[in-house]
């Protein structure tokens, strides 16, 4: 994984938190930090979480992109870290781990046994 503090985007998007394909990826810390969104009322109270909050959100993006690098697709489970995040609020509200379905797919993709 490559990590940058630069804002990143792909064609047709305003921004992305990260991007990965099988084998590697790129993560931007720029929009993960609630301080980036100063002045947006819906996000204001998240900025009080400090570094601990930022690190938890960064870990979600890292785990999400690692999942893609290991051949996982997006998930519809609201609590799953593989759920697509189209906004900081969606990132902040989703879980920080794989759901059981994605975990099982990950284990199968890696060829691991119980």
Give pTM, 2 decimals: 0.86
- Distant-in-sequence, close-in-space partners of 72: CB < 8 Å, separation ≥ 6: 82, 98, 102, 105, 106, 109
Domain count along the chain: 1
| SS3 state at 78 | coil
Q: What pLDDT does residue 34 have?
A: 78
User: Could you report the per-residue pLDDT of 56-100, keeping only the tens digit for each?
Assistant: 999 999 999 999 999 899 999 999 999 999 888 899 999 999 999
Task: Reply yes or no on whether 65 is catalytic.
Answer: yes
Domain region containing 83: 2-110
CATH number, position 79: 3.40.390.10
Catalytic residue, candidates 6, 42, 52, 65: 65
> Does residue 114 register a pLDDT over 70?
no
């Amino acid at each position: 994984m490559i990590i940058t503090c630069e804002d990143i985007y792909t064609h047709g998007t305003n921004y992305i938190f990260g991007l990965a394909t099988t084998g590697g990826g790129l993560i931007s810390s720029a929009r993960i930090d609630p301080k980036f969104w100063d002045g947006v009322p819906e996000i204001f109270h998240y900025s009080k979480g400090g570094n601990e909050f930022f690190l938890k959100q960064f870990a979600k993006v890292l785990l999400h992109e690692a999942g893609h690098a290991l051949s996982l697709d997006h998930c519809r489970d609201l609590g799953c870290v593989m759920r697509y995040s189209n906004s900081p609020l969606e990132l902040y509200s989703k879980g920080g781990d794989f759901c059981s379905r994605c975990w099982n797919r990950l284990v199968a993709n890696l060829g691991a046994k119980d």
